[in-house]
Amino acid sequence: MEEYRLLQLIGRGGMGHVYLAEDTLLERSVAVKFVAMVRPDSRARRRFLVEARAIARLSHPNVVAIHRVGDLEGHPYLVTEFVRGQSLEALPRPLPWRQVARIGVSLARGLAAAHRAGVLHRDIKPANVMLTEEDQVKLLDFGLAKLLAESAQALDDAPSGAPPPPLTSPLTGAGGLVGTPLYMAPETLQGAAATRASDLYSAGAVLYELCAGVAPRHALDPSTSLEDWEAMEPPSLRQRAEAVDLRLEAIINRCLQRDPAERYGSADELCGALAALEEPHILAEIPEGNPYRGLQPFDARHRSLFFGRETERLEVVERLRGNPLVVVTGPSGVGKSSLCRAAVLTSLAEGALEDGRTYRTVTFVPGYDPLAALAAALSGAMGRDEGALTEQLRGDPQGLGRELQRVLGRTAGLSILLDQAEELFTQAPAAEATACGEALGWLLRETRGLRVLVTVRGDFLTQLAGLPVLGDDVPRGLYLLRGLSPPAARSAIVEPARRKGVTFESDAVVETLVASSDTAAGGLPLLQFAMAELWDARDAILQRIPASALAAIGGVTGALSRHADGVVASLPPARVATTRSIFLRLSTPEGTRLRLSQTEFESTVPHAAPVLEALVQGRMLVAREERGETVYEVAHEALLHGWAQLRGWLEADAGKRPVCERVEAAAREWERLGRASELLWSGRQLTEALPLTPEDTSSLGTRFLAASRAAARLKRTRRWGLMAAAPLTLLLGLGSLRLRDDWELRRKVEERLEAASVELDRGHQTRDEAVRLRAEALAGFKVQTAATSQEAAARGKEAERLWTQATQAAERAEALLSRAAQILEGALAFGTGDARVRSLLGDVLMDRLQLADAFHHPERQHELLERLRTYDPDGSREAALRRPPVLSLTTDPPDAQVELERYEGDGARRQLVPTGLSLRAPWSRVTLGDGPGSYLLTLRAPGRVVVRHPLLLAPGESISLSQWLPFERDVPEGFIYVPPGTFLYGSTVPDVPRRGLLRATPLHEERTGAFLVQRTEVSFGEWIRFLEDQASEADRARHLPKSKGAPMPLQLQRGRDGRWTLTLGTGEAQVSAQQGKSLRIPGRDKAQDWERFPIMAIDQHDADAYTDWLSRTGQVPGARRCDELEWERAARGADGRLYSHGDQLAPTEATIDETYQRRAYGPDEVDGHADTASPFGLLNTAGNVYEWVRSVASREEALIRGGAWYYDAWIAFAANRTVVEPGTLDPTIGLRVCADAPPSPSP
């Protein structure tokens, strides 16, 4: 401990001794805690260090930071931040209820951060909660009670009637009984393991004591037995604290519920409930005028009128506490900008982060010059010139970050909103988008007081994640914003009017609006626009919005079109064409908005000024000042999709747009180089531009085309003049001219062949490099001996580095080969009929096809194959791609019946088609005339199980299989035998989402041995049999499925009659059913047998206990969790399909979030969706519930696969690897069992 100098002893207790110390390296005060360990042997010390390091990874303003974990001469110690202040235990009590609520919010925030990291506190009490001199709440000693218990001597087996220890002393003992009795939950006093719910109980007990002055069980006699102690109901808080707010009392009472399922589902939920009690720091004024924003986003001025997003506001702010970057993503029109501008930024400015800083907020939209826009946003905060800031952002963003840190110091903060980040990819040049990503990323890394909030449309998320520096942090900061729930939509509809004293004539009108907001495309902006129109149609005398007004404006979906048509109809007929030109210039082919200045319109659209003003007045365009100039943009993307007339204009203009863009690019280059004549267009280029009118191009583009046409006319005139002046000479020289032309063409062909050969040689060299790097990368990805997490991370990082180099080399090779093909196609255009050109072109296309196949680009393969047919007149090359594979097969027993089918169709579903081969084994070199592809072998023999073997066969491949069919008696009922074999493992999605979202490897070949796998997920009925076979009630309770909160509370209980009851949900949505009774989830049409539901809310330890039981009792010898190779092969077969049945997953084909319209969430029976069974016959490998599997990458990695009823189809990809904590208890997680295969006879 050379760098720490102990100054004085500042505390001692059951946890050990605490010293104030000086960190001599960083010159700061720290606290050093030597943790008391009753049995400090080497094993106990190692376990302490491992668990303490996990706790040390917590980083949150409301959690005391652990700087170091170590061991000094056999004495474990922790080095933590030194907190100046006092514990809640030292405060005079009771406290005013508002102060208690504020303390509770911070306590819950710290607890929520810990729970998300998989860390429990286990000993929350006033002595472990500090209040700093700045009134900041900090939680101490996370998990230390458990660490002590692991190393303590076991308590004597005292009789249950023995008195408990002192009320406020820590209790540690065998069986996980840890904590301080006054604040412990009833179930932990009974010996149950600590959970998130027991932490919430302890937090409620602390809040109770702060309000009442004494703890809930304070009145009990210390000699009371543990049973009486646990059974005691706390006195009503109202009896001890009459002034407490009723809402706070209800919150504390819920925390103190005896049944853990009745408490809050999470610390986040408790935090939200307490935060709702706080009075706003500033009473927001209600702005004048229409309370609905129409197509404009809400901002800080309209905060008092922004409703329906309180939960999302709290969630995003909480994310910003632990992560300096949060990316709010979702579809267009979901309300990303409004949430950030009106709710999140205002909360940050009011101190919601509670980190001791006062935050200033700035906003920028990228546009054409994102660095200049960012510099403009920063200039006010830094007091510097925009131009100089722009240059430093481009050249030295790290230095600027350090300068910004100096400006902010320790007390100031800056929050930056990058709004509409999709403009980085639709408006800004690629180099500028890259520079902006690097600049923001380095600012975040260098500036501690900086928070960056980004909004981006979901379809541009992958591109955002691909930006350098900033993109690395995007996966960790993702926040998916969904549409408004019906209650939230109702609030957004009713409350703004109510704030203005206006009501709706009937509830039916409100319900119609709520329903429309959920069904209309771009629902929220359309709803806000309709609401703005309804407000204008209100009855000003009665202060009421009449029911008839909704029909009058054309409903929610028709209001926007009707209004836009009305604005255009009010313009003079001669100005309609101008309106069309304006909207076409303000939109992109991708369906996003552009911004153009008044100057740009004046140079491209005649008479634009009065039309622009009319469209702004009509709320169809927005005008704002940017850097001293008026800039215009479409009011909202909803206009681009929801206004029929504009859609018609865009569709009619779609064919011209690419030509217009090429004209404008060529015109800018022509202007830049002094209008050089050699840059003018001619021939086919001018032919392409014939459909364009002056309204389609800018004035520069129009001048460029005019100059090009004039030059072309002059060239034609000169040519015809020469021909007319010397017809005789032309006639006499015709023969020699033809010979010369033939020679010239042959010379040009030879030049092209030589140039193509050069490109081809470079392409082959680069292709070989790509193939070599690919092989090295895939060797790194291939499963090896399970490693530690650090070893696995290092191996994966190196493999990804090689893979990136391989894909870059492959793209360079493709570009070189493509260039060679273009040169050769140009040579063909000379019309010499040279066979060498066509042959070489066919060879180049074959090279490109093989490269596309190696790197899994099926779309490119399809395109190249179509082109190959043009340059492969004898079909020899295509025939090589379709060479039939050859299959030899022997079986045990030797005369098994074998059927071969082929998978066809590369779209939504892969269909099995008979090949006509259905013969008894053995097969000797049977030629598969259907060619290479994906096949399914099915083998049958009397007394043996049916064996399915998916195969992926390459062109001309010769394969020999020896297949053993196990006896039926050796395979447990409900299990499937999977023979040894190879398959494609991993994913072909782009690298950024593959790494960051799926955590999958690139697609490559892997192999498994033989194994057994359960056809369905483990059901509740099967789990109940496991529970009933447990030796004690404590063992049974330990393995009960447990879920207290979102997305669905779940409880399984056994009644006094021995029958089990399953309860799902809470409140009005709660349903339950006993064994033998069906259960209908609210919102669904039919009831189901809940005992056939998949088991849910079990952790990894429960899963292992269940498989051990199956194996131990002989029901399934060798039962275990599937490893992820086995699971993926069983789920998708051999051919790399995305799901069990193909490459698309419809809501009706699995149980995912959209199956019941995101309303009737929950599982389906385990034997449902038989039509999407995997090639081996497994059901529900996509959706229903995640399944615990064993990681093959790291023995320390806890892994689930398969998606679930609460998540979308992307999550259900067969290749998706979801890493969780081993102790995760979630109602979306279940189990499917694998087992060792029966031993095959020796050869």
Sign of torsion over alpha carbons 401, 407, 408, 414: negative
- Of 220-229, 324-333, 710-719, the range with the lowest mean pLDDT is 220-229
Side-chain half-sphere exposure of 561, counting CA atoms within 13 A: 13
- Which of 275, 300, 332 is the endpoint of a domain? 275
396 and 350, same structural domain? yes
CATH number of domain containing 966: 2.60.40.10
Contact yes or no for 640/587 (Cβ under 8 A): yes
What band does 730 get if pLDDT is binned at 50, 70 and 90? very low
Contacts 24+ apart (CB under 8 A), 288-294: 290/532, 290/535, 290/536, 291/496, 291/497, 291/499, 291/500, 291/535, 292/496, 292/528, 292/531, 292/532, 292/534, 292/535, 293/338, 293/528, 293/532, 294/528, 294/529, 294/532, 294/619, 294/635
Contact yes or no for 603/597 (Cβ under 8 A): no
- Which pLDDT does position 1009 carry in this prediction? 94
Give the global pTM. 0.49
Interatomic CA distance for residues 577 and 562, integer angstroms = 19
Q: What is the mean pLDDT of residues 111-130?
A: 85
Interatomic CA distance for residues 326 and 346, integer angstroms = 16
| Number of domains, the chain | 7
Residue with tokens 């406020």: 168
Predicted confidence (pLDDT) per residue in 733-777, tens digit: 445 555 555 666 677 777 778 878 888 888 899 999 999 999 999
Which residue has better confidence, 1106 or 1213? 1106
For all residues of the chain together, what is the average pLDDT? 82
- Which of 530, 560, 590 is the endpoint of a domain? 560
- DSSP E strand boundaries for 582-703: 596-597, 621-626, 629-634
What band does 785 get if pLDDT is binned at 50, 70 and 90? low
In DSSP notation, 105-124 reads HHHHHHHHHHHHTT---S--
What band does 1023 get if pLDDT is binned at 50, 70 and 90? very high
1163 and 1090, same structural domain? yes
Contact yes or no for 178/171 (Cβ under 8 A): yes
764 Rama sector, left if φ>0, alpha if ψ -120 to 50, beta otherwise: alpha
Q: What is the mean pLDDT of residues 353-358?
A: 82
In DSSP notation, 899-965 reads EEEEEE-SSS-PEEEEEEEEEESPEEEEE-TT-SEEEEEEEE-TTB--EEEEEEE-TT-EEEEEEE-
Of 324, 322, 424, nearest to 365 by C-alpha is 424
- Which pLDDT does position 179 carry in this prediction? 58
Tokens coding 934: 């994906």
pLDDT tops 90 at residue 211: yes
How far does CA 1159 lie from the centroid of its chain? 21
578 and 555, same structural domain? no
Cβ neighbors of 83 (< 8 A, separation 6 or more) are 31, 64, 130, 132, 138, 140
pLDDT tops 80 at residue 783: no
Predicted confidence (pLDDT) per residue in 1145-1179, tens digit: 888 999 998 888 777 889 999 998 988 999 999 99
Q: Is residue 1043 part of a domain?
A: no
Q: Is residue 1046 part of a domain?
A: no
- Which pLDDT does position 57 carry in this prediction? 66
Of 489, 480, 518, 521, nearest to 1207 by C-alpha is 480
Predicted confidence (pLDDT) per residue in 394-411, tens digit: 999 999 999 999 999 888
Single-letter residue type at 190? Q
- Which pLDDT does position 194 carry in this prediction? 86
- Which pLDDT does position 642 carry in this prediction? 66
Angle, vertex CA 121, rays to CA 118 and CA 126, nearest 5: 150
How far does CA 720 lie from the centroid of its chain? 66
Burial class (CB within 10 angstroms; exposed 0-12, middle 13-18, buried 19+) of 1084: middle
Q: What is the mean pLDDT of residues 1219-1238?
A: 92
572 and 686, same structural domain? yes
Interatomic CA distance for residues 697 and 600, integer angstroms = 12
792 and 665, same structural domain? no
Residue 356: other Cβ atoms inside 10 A:
15
Interatomic CA distance for residues 906 and 1144, integer angstroms = 10
What band does 1100 get if pLDDT is binned at 50, 70 and 90? very high
Interatomic CA distance for residues 327 and 476, integer angstroms = 9
374 and 241, same structural domain? no
Single-letter residue type at 438? E
Contact yes or no for 1183/1212 (Cβ under 8 A): yes
- Which pLDDT does position 279 carry in this prediction? 45
- Which pLDDT does position 533 carry in this prediction? 79
Tokens coding 642: 């929801």
Interatomic CA distance for residues 181 and 217, integer angstroms = 9
φ and ψ at residue 18, rounded to 5 degrees: -120, 130
- Which pLDDT does position 228 carry in this prediction? 62
Cβ neighbors of 871 (< 8 A, separation 6 or more) are 838, 841, 842, 845
Q: Which of 7-21, 366-380, 470-484 has the highest mean pLDDT?
A: 366-380
Q: Is residue 1158 part of a domain?
A: yes
Q: Is residue 1059 part of a domain?
A: no
811 and 794, same structural domain? yes
Of 495, 444, 504, nearest to 468 by C-alpha is 444
Q: Is residue 904 part of a domain?
A: yes
Full residue range of the structural domain in which residue 372 is found: 309-483
Q: What is the mean pLDDT of residues 673-698?
A: 75
pLDDT tops 50 at residue 732: no
628 and 532, same structural domain? no
pLDDT tops 50 at residue 151: no
Interatomic CA distance for residues 600 and 609, integer angstroms = 11
Interatomic CA distance for residues 235 and 964, integer angstroms = 70
- Which pLDDT does position 973 carry in this prediction? 95
Interatomic CA distance for residues 527 and 295, integer angstroms = 9
pLDDT tops 60 at residue 731: no
Strands 412-418, 1186-1190: pairing is unpaired
Beta bridge mates, 536: none
Of 184, 202, 203, nearest to 192 by C-alpha is 184
Predicted confidence (pLDDT) per residue in 522-557, tens digit: 456 667 777 887 888 787 777 888 877 777 776 666
What band does 71 get if pLDDT is binned at 50, 70 and 90? confident
Interatomic CA distance for residues 232 and 253, integer angstroms = 14
Single-letter residue type at 806? A
Q: Is residue 72 part of a domain?
A: yes
- Which pLDDT does position 153 carry in this prediction? 36
123 is catalytic: yes
Strands 911-920, 897-904: pairing is antiparallel
Cβ neighbors of 1153 (< 8 A, separation 6 or more) are 1161, 1205, 1206, 1207, 1208
Cβ neighbors of 176 (< 8 A, separation 6 or more) are 146, 149, 191, 192, 193, 194
Distances (CA, A) of 1011 to 527, 1014, 1016, 1238: 55, 10, 15, 8
Contact yes or no for 432/425 (Cβ under 8 A): no
CATH number of domain containing 1196: 3.90.1580.10
Of 418, 471, 475, 470, nearest to 444 by C-alpha is 470
pLDDT tops 60 at residue 13: no
Q: From the candidates 23, 71, 123, 1208, which is the catalytic residue? A: 123
pLDDT tops 90 at residue 1007: yes
Interatomic CA distance for residues 860 and 866, integer angstroms = 10
228 and 102, same structural domain? yes
Q: What is the mean pLDDT of residues 268-273?
A: 80
What band does 423 get if pLDDT is binned at 50, 70 and 90? confident
Q: Can you give the C-alpha Rg of the chain in angstroms?
A: 36
Q: What does DSSP assign to residue 607?
A: T
Q: Is residue 1068 part of a domain?
A: no
Interatomic CA distance for residues 893 and 965, integer angstroms = 7
Beta bridge mates, 1019: 1094
207 and 149, same structural domain? yes
476 and 525, same structural domain? no
Q: What is the mean pLDDT of residues 338-344?
A: 91
Q: What percent of the chain has pLDDT over 90?
A: 30
Is 712 in a helix, a strand, or coil? helix
The helix (run of H) or strand (run of E) holding residue 598 is helix 598-604
Q: Is residue 304 part of a domain?
A: no
| Total number of residues shown for the chain | 1243
Predicted confidence (pLDDT) per residue in 1132-1143, tens digit: 999 999 999 988
222 and 334, same structural domain? no
Cβ neighbors of 313 (< 8 A, separation 6 or more) are 339, 343, 344, 347
Which residue has better confidence, 618 or 1011? 1011
Residue 489: other Cβ atoms inside 10 A:
23
- Which of 483, 506, 539 is the endpoint of a domain? 483
Q: What is the mean pLDDT of residues 359-383?
A: 90
Interatomic CA distance for residues 902 and 916, integer angstroms = 10
Q: Which of 423-427, 976-980, 1214-1218 has the highest mean pLDDT?
A: 976-980
Side-chain half-sphere exposure of 584, counting CA atoms within 13 A: 26
Of 22, 12, 111, 95, nearest to 60 by C-alpha is 111
- Which pLDDT does position 860 carry in this prediction? 82
